[in-house]
Structure 1
């Protein structure tokens, strides 16, 4: 077994690997960028080495610096986590050339599965079913459009390299094919450095089911059952579970056999995932699944497999990479109960899941869930900042229970009692999805979220009780029912009459005012508006736990939903510079493409520019008719709120 390893990653996966390594007595070395110098994985590692500036191209993608860090610290091996360099065969070869061990598959196996078209041809030869499509070398628009017509619309355009929905476009109309192809190629080039794509038939009632496989250096390959990842938005996974709902013995046997056969075809060693697209129009059938791709690394959703099997997949990675055989035979691997994982992201679900940034001024997870096992894999803690440089995932919340219904209820309860303030998050969206009737009854397919997105992402309108709780939280009062002393409850209490304090909040453009007065039992009476004759709302100590005050704001929690109010600074004049004549960046990003210029007359809805953030493209369109007075330059790096377009008055 290794004595010391470098973890060539950040966030929750770095911490996840670190926990297992420490349990096994293996010392850990963290690598970090300047933006991550105070990150949790840096603080908890045995050693840490800075490898560059914040952009990934200057830090986490610098394989040479990571290898240098391993050699300088005396590490014997490098664990890549997922993302970044985890599926880069050139990096694997450089690691091995330096006399180090790569904790993962061989460069040959990664190359075999790295390009989707070549992988599918290989799988066809190995007898693994593949989706009908075009996987050839031709990339000309005319040729690809002709192939799409042959396959039959709808089709999927997919990047040959990489995954995560980047460089992917669903096309239903032949006339939309050219623009979709150009966008997919640009996105693929930005994300993976390879603009080549393939075209596949789109399965109209698809489920995404994948099989966890594991191989060792002695020729052994096993599976650890399947996971269902059908709950996706923009082709990115949201909720994953194991086992797959509705799976029957015949389909499981066929699918796991195909997965093992796929791994054996490339002499696979380490943890990997074989992903299948499944036609669920008539339930799960052994003749209705097709190979999509293989992820030659650990997956983000691996905890659900760990929960149902009781196997630590990172421990297996370390053992296999050090030359040991697989710890268990296939007939010794059992699955028990049901596990569900939700990805908690800093993102604005109501604004089409735009990535969000911000400091996590308040972050709280539940300690346990009655009747179920709770696991939280977080990469951050309270006070950390979500930056525009990296994936905005805050944590993975996982629940394991005896049945799927119990696991779903447990996870929804866990998310209901999770609190985040300081950044927009997707908590409310996740719980509405978990409680959706189709999802709860296993009526799954990858288009479920898209069909119900408006209902799943709608933010509740603040009720008077929410306003009262926000007012109370910012009043400066100490809600204390233990001594009945009004002096400890609110400064300025009057001996003979209750003195009211006027408070003011903003919710968007709406101003909310209230009068606050202390009660003898330590509670507060909140009169919304400024009329003390109205019936007050009483706020007590128990309500205080449902609000968090942070610089310039207060957030009220209602289950998994949160409602944030601005707290006006009375010493600072209001900023009225922004107006309807300006379009501002909804998030930090790169102006990838500009489609208009100064003095152009544009119509409402007309695309003006393409903003790239988190390696995804977002089209910014005109909110109304007008004439452009000023527009951002192509290639400009902009911050959240930066002016992109100014219209003539």
Structure 2
């Protein structure tokens, strides 16, 4: 059994004992379970749309923090801090999304003597801006795809820079994420109008119109390295994940270990990620994301300063509990000095709701090698206000072929009645010859969906 920490002091000696979970849905449920396992009290927060949500029922206590609109509830820093104070919480876990990578929130926790289960506000601020993160990682020795040396706001100046880099070119929002403000431009005559469109998206989503440019790699894969760093400067890469299957820059399924990655490149990616994270004095769990273009050719994209949606596949291949690891780092426990071994193979499929509504029937798969992370229950009303992901189906086994078969069977067994979901699409993808043969790249699914839509239109 792998272990991450060289000492396991009792929870009663930790600097916190009551954790407010500043999130909702499956990740809130996941964190509550970790709290129970460690003997920590948990406090759930919820909006009026989530008053009957599963995380409010499982936590030791629950507090309403505002209306359904996320801006006035799950993104309301003052209300969340007040909820922690009123309930006597001494720590806050942000989960993923919402305020998890918000430096102001982390700083507000620090200022109000609440332990933030994550990196420092300074680290979040440093890595939250893509251009600043790129420059920092260059100093730490990270390889980068050829790109603009500074952020850009003028389309004509950006076109001049794009011609220096070479087409095709990727336009990205500097403060962005989730595919917002991001477009590929094939030819110079398309550039300025596309740049303006990306800027409009960036202003709307992030209130920031600074953009940067990258050389566009035609057939890369998306590989991410899971890291953890303690308060003493020790850093460990504990595995990698392949997140290549994406639609409109949103991940659809992830696998670990990355099947296309050779051992030499894997070790290079581990080493350089550990060195970069140590260089910035990072603390906590984090993920460095790369574009991978073949053996020895990998390029830094960004670093996420939070737990990832896809963390379960790393847990199932290493036997580690990454939420517990976050708590132990925050409590000051030191890491071991060797990387964990990886056993098994794991695949995660994200189940999303295509429509809101009430779950009128529910059957989730089970059996050896199957895990479901969800906040669904029969009779639950899926609100229209938040992210569409409603469950994560994780399958693990001795090798990729076994796991692909097991995942197909698990999806066939899954019933979610009352709403529309993407289960049919997931089943179709798992039968695609290119996916089975690992002949995919980050653009593969977009091209596949476009082709299917065109065929449907023609028919």
Task: Specify which of 298, 308, 312 is matched with residue 321 of structure 2.
Answer: 312
CA–CA distance in structure 2, aligned partners of residues 380 and 336 of structure 1: 30
| 2:337 paired with 1:329 | yes
Aligned position for 1:285? 295
Number of residue pairs matched by the alignment: 442
Distance 2:337 2:154 in 1: 48
**Counterpart in 2 of 1:231?**
245
Conservation of the 8 A alpha-carbon contact between 1:274 and 1:295: yes
* Residue in structure 2 matched with residue 450 of structure 1 by the alignment: 446
Separation in 1, partners of 2:192, 2:375 = 40
- Find out whether 1:177 has 2:191 as its counterpart: yes
Q: Distance in 2 between matches of 1:451 and 1:233?
A: 9
Offset at 1:106?
0.7
More strand as a share of residues? 1
Matched position secondary structure for 2:242: strand
The answer for unaligned runs of 5 or more in structure 1 is 348-355, 461-649
1:153 to 144, 167, 177: 167
Question: Which whole-Å deviations, capped at 9, do the CAs of 1:322-359 have from their partners, x for residues lacking one?
Answer: 11112x3324x110010000000012xxxxxxxx3222
Find out whether 1:365 has 2:364 as its counterpart.
yes
Determine helix, strand or coil for the equivalent of 1:341: strand
Q: What CA distance in whole angstroms lies between the structure 1 residues aligned with 2:120 and 2:424?
A: 41
1:338 counterpart (342, 345, 359): 345
Look at both structures and tell me which one has the larger radius of gyration over its CA atoms: 1
SS at match of 1:48: strand
8 Å contact 2:153–2:209 — kept in the other structure?
no
Give the 5 Å matches for 1:491-502.
none
Distance 1:455 1:381, change over 3 A: farther
Question: How far apart are 1:393 and its partner, in Å?
Answer: 0.8
Q: Describe the SS at the equivalent of 2:308.
A: coil
Structure 1 CA distance, aligned partners of 2:454 and 2:310?
26
Asked whether 1:380 is paired with 2:376, we answer yes
Distance 2:438 2:284 in 1: 32
Structure 1 residues 447-498: Cα deviation after superposition (integer angstroms, max 9, x where no partner): 11122215768999xxxxxxxxxxxxxxxxxxxxxxxxxxxxxxxxxxxxxx
Q: 1:128-161 CA distances to partner (integer Å, 9 max, x unpaired)?
A: 1011111413311111121112211111111112
Q: 2:393 aligns with which of 393, 397, 413?
A: 397
* Structure 1 residues 403-431: Cα deviation after superposition (integer angstroms, max 9, x where no partner): 01111111111011111222221111111
Q: Rate the CA distance shift 1:449–1:210 in 2: closer, same or farther, 3 A.
A: same
When structure 1 is superposed on structure 2, of 112-121 and 358-367 the one drifting more is: 358-367
- Aligned CA distance change for structure 1 residues 391 and 261 (closer, same or farther; 3 Å): same
More helix by share: 2
Aligned counterpart, 2:5: none
Structure 2 partner of 1:144 = 158
- Structure 2 gap segments, 5+ residues each: 1-13
Alpha-carbon displacement from aligned partner over 1:586-645 (angstroms, at most 9, x marks no partner): xxxxxxxxxxxxxxxxxxxxxxxxxxxxxxxxxxxxxxxxxxxxxxxxxxxxxxxxxxxx
CA distance in 2, matches of 1:458, 1:417: 30
Determine the C-alpha separation between the residues in 2 that align with 1:95 and 1:445.
40
Shift >4 Å, 4+ stretches: 454-460
Between stretches 392-401 and 436-445, larger displacement belongs to 436-445
RMSD: 1.6
Match of 1:122 in 2: 136
Q: 1:207–1:34: structure 2 CA closer, same or farther, 3 Å change rule?
A: same
In structure 2, distance between residues paired with 1:103 and 1:184: 33
Equivalences for 1:556-575 in 2 at 5 Å?
Answer: none
Contact 1:429 1:456 in 2 (8 A): no
| 1:250 matched residue in structure 2 | 264
Instruction: Provide the rounded CA distance (Å) in 2 between the counterparts of 1:175 and 1:386.
Output: 44
For the pair 1:219 / 2:233, whether they are aligned, the reply is yes
